[in-house]
Amino acid sequence: MRIIDLRSDTVTLPTSEMLQYMIQADVGDDGRARGAKGEDNAAAAAEKMTAELFGKEDSLFVPSGTMGNSVCIMTHCKRGDKAVTCANMHMYKAEKTAFTEEGFGVKAVLVPQKKGFYDMEALKKAVKENDISLVCIENTYNFEGGTVLTREQIEEILAISHAEEIPVHMDGARIFNAAAALDMEVDRLCEGVDSVQFCVSKGLSAPIGSFIVGSTEFIRKARTVRKQMGGQLRQVGLLAAAGQYAIEHLSKRIANDNRRARQLAEGICDAKDISVDMDTVQTNIVKVDLHGRLRGRDWLKALEEEQGIRAHYITDDAVRFVTYRGIKDEDITEAVNRIRSFCDVH
């Protein structure tokens, strides 16, 4: 039986054209800085393009989204500082490093959220009553099923934060999915946000890496933090060039992934002993709640063994399916049929 892998958009592979673009990259030692940039011309070109695309002054390539978020948090904050986040925000719940005492020691001030949008009264109270150094947001919001923060919601958060002179950092790992869902360019969606991290190794199909964007001064400091975290990179232009190619040639097709996730959700939402909150199916993630005898990892194991469908564990009560380049319309049709058949017997 053919496997249909819907665990994550991190399983995407580079195109042959992307690989050729990487081979031709004009690389050098990015760790030997000439002023603000290193000697890797391909990395510098990719960072320049990325900054311009996001409407920011500068950009920096990092090996992963976790490093990108951590670099940004530690550029904004020092050990013992407080940052606003949520209990299930990805950088707090999954990445952890910035918010642990044995890690970077930033103290989390947790504010309630709904579909990734803060309770505004709780946010106002948090920034008024605490000495806050940073407010964190996430777009799309992973653990709520890939929900999107709208421009209007972002502006509300910016207004409260900036009124207290508190910077805002966005974990935009899947920002192009959010932009596609809102039919909006990323520069407009991220306008006013002080720093943004976004991945090129998910739906954009690059093999490795993320970029962070911000002001010239912020990126200058972030470059030092990246080095301190083990990110003194050499011929990184090979990877940065892949990211540049991905953004320039594969970002517009992201809307197809959002559409296919919706198609999948509509096909399985009324299957036996599972449910999908269709209001959360806004991008390329389908969060499925489990109500039957099998739970969590047991449900996933049986689904793969019996129907050849791979999905991702969230909790014992919920799993997720993710669409990406490489998953076609016929894969979604087949996945719907197999999942429904599986649910009928479990």
pLDDT tens digit string along 241-282? 999 999 999 999 999 999 999 999 999 999 999 999 999 999
Q: What is the CATH number of the domain that holds 124?
A: 3.40.640.10
Nearest to 118 by CA among 138, 93, 140, 97: 138
Q: Is the pLDDT of residue 36 over 80?
A: no
9 part of a folded domain: no
| Angle (deg, nearest 10), helices 216-228 and 65-76 | 120
- Number of domains comprising the chain: 2
Q: Same domain for 27 and 156?
A: yes
- Provide the terminal-to-terminal Cα distance of the chain, rounded to the nearest Å: 20
Domain that holds residue 176: 16-250
Q: Is position 6 within any domain?
A: no
Q: CA-CA distance, 114 to 161, in Å (whole number)?
A: 18
Residue 140 inside a domain? The answer is yes
Query: pLDDT per residue over 125-166, tens digit each?
Result: 999 999 999 999 999 999 999 999 999 999 999 999 999 999
Residue tagged 């999954």 (tokens): 94
Token pair of 8 as six digits: 């994550």
Establish if 3 belongs to a structural domain: no
Q: Which helix (H) or strand (E) holds 285?
A: strand 285-290
Q: Quick: pLDDT tens for 135-145.
A: 999 999 999 99
Residue 8 lies in a domain: no
pTM of the model: 0.96
Domain boundary among 193, 218, 250: 250
Separation in Å, CA 290 to CA 253, 287, 295, 299: 31, 10, 7, 9
Note whether residue 10 is domain-resident: no
If asked whether residues 139 and 265 sit together in one domain, one would say no
Q: Are residues 223 and 279 in the same domain?
A: no
Q: Is residue 293 part of a domain?
A: yes
Residues 118 and 24 in one domain: yes
Indicate whether 124 and 234 sit together in one domain. Answer: yes
**Displacement of CA 123 from its chain's centroid (Å):** 22
Supply the pLDDT for residue 37: 85
Q: How many Cα atoms occupy the beta-carbon half-sphere of 329 within 13 Å?
A: 2
Please provide the size of the chain in residues: 346
Pair 330, 264 in one domain = yes
With a cut of 80, say whether residue 35 has pLDDT above it.
Answer: no
Query: Are residue 236 and residue 273 in the same domain, yes or no?
Result: no
* Last residue within a domain, chosen from 195, 219, 250: 250
Domain co-membership, 231 together with 293? no
Asked whether the predicted pLDDT for residue 337 surpasses 70, the reply is yes
Q: What is the DSSP letter of 141?
A: B
What pLDDT does 294 receive?
94
| 140 shares its domain with 264 | no
Domain finish residue from 250, 272, 305: 250
What CATH code is carried by the domain that includes residue 297? 3.90.1150.10
Residue 325 lies in a domain: yes
Q: Do 236 and 290 fall into the same domain? A: no
Does residue 275 share a domain with residue 218?
Answer: no
Same domain for 264 and 244? Answer: no
